[in-house]
Amino acid sequence: MPKLYFMLSSFFKFMKKLLTFLILTYLLITINSIGITQEQNKLKNENLLKIGVLLPLSGEFKDIGESFLKAIQLALYEISNENIKIYPKDSKANALTAYQAAKEFKENGIKIVIGPIFYESLEKLDEINNITFISLTNKTEKIPKNTIAFGININSQIEVLQKYFDKIKVSKTLLLSPKSEYVHQSDDVAKKDLLKFYRTYSYDTNPKKITGEIEKITKYRERKKDLERRIKILEKSDLYKHQQELKKLEQMHTLGKVNFDSVVIIDFGERLKSVLTSFMFSDVPNNEVKFFTINQWFDETFFNENAMQNLHFPSIDLNNLKKFNKKYFKTYKEKPNKVSILAYDALGLIYYCWVNNNSEFKVSQLYNKDGFKGLHGEFMIEENFSKQKLKIYKVSKKKFEQVY
């Protein structure tokens, strides 16, 4: 019996020691696992790329903001890297709301933000330190020092127009712009002095007045009177050659050519159509005079207007825009805002800089002198705006034809 008691006592002591060992071993493993997990999470957080997104997601411009956000989400999906997170906030297309959202980004440790879209929303952003904003505005004047204007700006458009003008050898170019909200763009074009304008004009935005102003610019009435005088002279002659000339003149509206060979019109939409139609009515054929405007984002309503034929404009890569539109439609079953391709490329730009610097984002990388290639085309960031390498297209037989 004592022997049995001793054996049981030894067994229970052994089991107690074993249980104590197992508990200590479990605790040690658990503590180590927690430590490893915490270290992994810390490393993951250090490698996390946090991108703020500041867009109008409510109010008047909600549809534009949502299209831009979907383009960013599309780029994020295609990159497929779980270490990249976006943090959308509503700017309401308002400077104060954008500023308040930017302060929240700063509190959350976000250092790079896509947005805002509109120039007016940038007003107070220069008060936010340690954040860089990639705005989708195309204005470059008085941009806050912490903001990059990523839109298709007038500087890039002037540069490619100047190269194309040199190629086709136009020398007497008129600059026309409306007395309107686009005055800053025409001022920028005129100030650059790269295109060496022959004359500049500002026209009234009232469609009823545009035709009269274009008639003055083209000296339509004088040319019409010259025709009428010549016809009267020929009608009095019986010479065969005069009779033949008379037949030709009777098919014409004016006599004599205009004193310019090209026209740049800084305008959009219906007003642009009115100006070009007025030139047509003033007997200035678009196969003799070259007509140019600024980036129109491939407005297909131009196809239905005879006056828009042979209209030239600088823009992004059309083939790539079609690819973007197709991907966007396939994903969301709706057409994108065409400008949202820039938001898609903005996320790609940030990711490219981050992944090529061992998963660490530095603002200085945005200013790479070799430039970048996005879906919208090649570009380089200088000072605080994107300098794009654009192409020249013209409207031709219900399509956009690249000419340069």
Residues 45-87 have pLDDT tens digits of 557 999 999 999 999 999 999 999 999 999 999 999 999 999 9
Q: Cα(192)–Cα(373) distance, rounded to whole angstroms?
A: 26
pLDDT given at position 40: 44
Of 89, 136, 54, the residue nearest 337 (C-alpha): 136
Distance separating alpha carbons of residues 17 and 121, to the nearest angstrom? 70
Residue of 168, 133, 131, 134 whose CA lies nearest to 151: 134
Residue 4: predicted pLDDT: 46
Site of tokens 């009608």: 235
d(CA 358, CA 367): 18
Which of 154, 95, 97, 101 has the alpha carbon at shortest distance from 119? 95
Cis amide linkage into residue 178, ω under 30° from 0: no
Residues of the chain with pLDDT under 50: 2-6, 8, 34-44
Considering the entire predicted model, what is its pTM? 0.82
The pLDDT value recorded for residue 6 is 47
- Residues 204 and 210: their CA atoms lie apart, in Å, by 6
User: Tokens for 401?
Assistant: 């034809």
Largest separation between any pair of C-alpha atoms in the chain:
156
Q: Are 173 and 197 in contact (CB under 8 A)?
A: yes
Q: Is the bond leading into 116 cis (omega within 30 degrees of zero)?
A: yes
Residue bearing tokens 């960031």 = 381
